Amino acid sequence: MVGQRRKKQRSKSRLMGNHQNSWLRGRNAIVETLDAGRWLPLELVVSEQLADDIAGPLIETATVLQVPFEIVGHDRLTQLCNARDHQGVIARMPPFPYCDLETVVAQSTRPELFLILDSLQDPFNFGSVCRSAGVFGVDGMFVAESGQAEVSSQVARSSAGAINRLRIARVESLCNTVDQLKASGVRTIATSPRAEQRIDQLDCTVPLAVVIGNEGDGVSDELLERCDDLVAIPQATGFESLNAAVSAGIVLYEITRQRSRDQSGITSRFQRRLK
């Protein structure tokens, strides 16, 4: 095992949740978080049973970023995060660093592509949407200050690390956000089983903001009234509608497919956005 260092004094900073819910666990999620360097842990805790070739780089990165760390017994990690699937490393996290609307818009690429999440409650759904947003090069996401699941350990894990590469803004009013985006030339769309137009029939090469509705109630009436277009996702009859995360992935794929015909594709758009 990597040489043990003396435990550093713990920070008294605010936490992502209560004590147990403030721990991010799992090697991939923590490696991605450290590599991104934007949402820095308050403390890293590594199992003494973790192999040197895994623990070494983690501790080296934590040292460079000045993140305190300690090496403890494997059972201590389970006790701290109240879970056994930590894979030998956990990180105590501060609240997620949300952006403001102006920053998200200013740092977007043309044609812009945004997501607006209307009160998603399930952290796994939230994380899955973030994963799709990262894959398809979404410029930014907007969530409400209330009624929306916050970024948590579950969200970070189910996003497969994409949460660290996304610009997410918390706003007081999603309706006002839609109005501001529309004023700047961004069209707003939402999926609806009652829509007469399919997503593949819509011109997706223009600046777009896609509204993703709540798992139970869908998109609120106030937001639907503000949308420029309602689109349907073709599906077999006799089945219930797709869940929020799956719908988001399908819509984002179709948008990127259309845009890639005239641009250089998904990968280059994502790379440009990260610069």
pLDDT at 239: 67
Query: How do residues 45-94 score in pLDDT, each as one tens digit?
Result: 999 999 999 999 999 999 999 999 999 999 999 999 998 999 999 999 99
Which of residues 31 and 11 earns the better pLDDT score?
31
Q: Is residue 262 part of a domain?
A: yes
Q: How far apart are CA 272 and CA 275, in angstroms?
A: 5
Task: Say yes or no: 146 and 265 in one domain.
Answer: yes
Instruction: State the pLDDT confidence band at 6, using cuts at 50, 70 and 90.
Output: very low
Q: Is residue 52 part of a domain?
A: yes
Task: Say yes or no: 163 and 270 in one domain.
Answer: yes
Which of residues 227 and 193 earns the better pLDDT score?
227
Of 71, 92, 113, which residue is a domain's last?
92
Contact criterion met (CB below 8 Å) for 32 and 61: no
CATH of the domain at 60: 3.30.1330.30
pTM of the model: 0.87
Task: Say yes or no: 33 and 154 in one domain.
Answer: no
Q: Is residue 69 part of a domain?
A: yes
Q: How far apart are CA 223 and CA 46, in angstroms?
A: 45
Of 98, 90, 88, the closest CA to residue 34 belongs to 90
Instruction: Count structural domains, the chain.
Output: 2
Q: How far apart are CA 147 and CA 42, in angstroms?
A: 27
Task: Say yes or no: 69 and 172 in one domain.
Answer: no
Task: Say yes or no: 132 and 226 in one domain.
Answer: yes
pLDDT at 215: 83
pLDDT at 18: 65
Residue bearing tokens 């609240």? 95
Task: Say yes or no: 114 and 220 in one domain.
Answer: yes
CATH of the domain at 215: 3.40.1280.10
Task: Say yes or no: 185 and 120 in one domain.
Answer: yes
Checking phi first, is residue 270 left (phi over 0); if not, alpha (psi -120 to 50) or beta? alpha
Query: How do residues 234-272 score in pLDDT, each as one tens digit?
Result: 887 766 678 889 999 999 999 999 999 866 544 444 444
Mean per-residue pLDDT over the chain, rounded? 88
Q: How far apart are CA 58 and CA 46, in angstroms?
A: 9
Q: How far apart are CA 1 and CA 8, in angstroms?
A: 19
Q: Is residue 160 part of a domain?
A: yes
Task: Say yes or no: 228 and 160 in one domain.
Answer: yes
Instruction: State the pLDDT confidence band at 193, using cuts at 50, 70 and 90.
Output: confident
Of 41, 61, 92, which residue is a domain's last?
92
pLDDT at 21: 78
Mean pLDDT of 10-35: 81
Of 60, 92, 124, which residue is a domain's last?
92
Mean pLDDT of 122-127: 94
Domain membership of residue 88 as a residue range: 20-92
Task: Say yes or no: 87 and 208 in one domain.
Answer: no
Task: Say yes or no: 78 and 157 in one domain.
Answer: no
Of 52-56, 172-176, 191-195, least confident by mean pLDDT is: 191-195
Q: How far apart are CA 210 and CA 224, in angstroms?
A: 11
* pLDDT greater than 80 at residue 20: no
Task: Say yes or no: 72 and 119 in one domain.
Answer: no
Q: How far is CA 107 from CA 8, 100, 110, 192, 204, in A?
A: 37, 11, 10, 30, 20
